[in-house]
Structure formats: structure tokens, C-alpha cells
């Protein structure tokens, strides 16, 4: 009986460790993606996003993956800073939603602005790595 309880305890603790590790990997992916936006690293952005990406901005503007990469390359939009605060992650198998408050400094069509946003990102796990599937932001109060 003690042997069985030891095995059950070990299995339960390993499941908890795997979840934490998965959340840590996802948090790192989120931050890496935002840094890629700042650096205009379109190669990284291409790898970190799903082909069906829907990237919603707080003003209602929605970009596809192709739009996002083109808009960064042409300078239509550029990001100078992107800070996440209060990140919460909820996973369900190979899907996760990531919520956080963001401080974003960006330039759109030559006009620089600072935003305080509440952001929801939906990430999916493909081939043991997380990729961004959807994002929506609203202005924070």
C-alpha cells in the first residue's frame, strides 16, 4: 500500500511539474514574440505565429499574419516598447489563453502613441512549441 501511495504521489508531482514547465515555456514565448515585434524580427514572428493568425488591435483594426509582417517591414507600424504585467495563463491541452496588462509604445503611420492595454492572446501548441493563434486588445481604464 505504501508503495502504491508513493507511486501515486510521484506521478501527481510530476504532472504538476510538467504544467509549470509548460507555463514557463509559454510565458517565455509570449515575451519573445513581443520582443520580436520591437526588433521587427519578421523571421521570428513568422515562426511564432500560426498561418491563420488574427491580430486584433484596441481600435478595432485586425491584421492577418501576412498583414502584420508586411506592416512591420514597411514601417506602417513599429513598436518601441512592449511590457507585460500581471500575466495569467490558462491551459487546456494544446491550447492556452494568456491575459495581461500591457504598456506599449508604438508608431502608426508616423504618429507615436503610448497605450495601456488589456490583452488576450490565444496560443496553440504545435510540435512541442507554442505559436500565437489570436490576439485581441482593449484599452485599459
Q: Can you give the pLDDT of all 141 residues of the chain as single tens digits?
A: 665 545 555 554 444 444 558 899 999 999 999 999 999 999 999 999 999 999 999 999 999 999 999 999 999 999 999 999 999 999 999 999 999 999 999 999 999 999 999 999 999 999 889 999 999 999 998
DSSP 127: T
Name the domain count of the chain: 1
Per-residue confidence (pLDDT) for residue 7, from 0 to 100: 59
pLDDT at 17: 44
What is the dihedral sign for C-alpha 59, 61, 65, 66? negative
Task: Identify the sign of the CA torsion 120, 125, 130, 134.
Answer: negative
> What integer pLDDT is reported at residue 5 of this predicted model?
45
d(CA 14, CA 101) in angstroms, rounded, equals: 31
Instruction: Look up the CATH number of the domain holding residue 133.
Output: 3.10.450.50
Helix (H, G, I), strand (E, B) or coil at 24: helix
- Which residue segment(s) compose the domain that 96 sits in? 2-139
Contact 123, 23 (CB under 8 A): no
**pTM (two decimals):** 0.83
The answer to whether the beta carbons of residues 50 and 131 sit under 8 Å apart is yes
Amino acid at each position: 500500500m505504501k508503495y502504491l501511495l508513493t507511486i501515486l504521489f510521484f506521478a501527481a508531482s510530476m504532472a504538476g511539474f510538467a504544467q509549470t514547465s509548460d507555463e514557463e515555456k509559454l510565458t517565455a514565448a509570449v515575451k519573445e514574440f513581443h520582443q520580436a515585434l520591437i526588433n521587427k524580427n519578421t523571421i521570428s514572428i513568422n515562426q511564432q505565429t500560426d498561418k491563420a493568425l488574427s491580430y486584433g488591435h484596441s481600435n478595432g483594426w485586425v491584421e492577418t499574419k501576412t498583414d502584420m509582417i508586411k506592416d512591420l517591414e514597411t514601417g506602417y507600424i513599429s513598436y518601441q516598447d512592449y511590457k507585460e504585467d500581471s500575466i495569467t495563463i490558462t491551459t487546456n491541452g494544446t491550447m492556452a489563453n494568456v491575459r495581461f496588462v500591457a504598456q506599449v509604445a508604438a508608431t502608426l503611420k508616423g504618429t507615436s502613441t503610448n497605450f495601456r492595454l488589456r490583452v488576450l492572446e490565444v496560443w496553440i501548441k504545435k510540435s512541442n512549441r507554442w505559436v500565437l493563434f489570436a490576439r485581441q486588445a482593449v484599452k485599459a481604464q
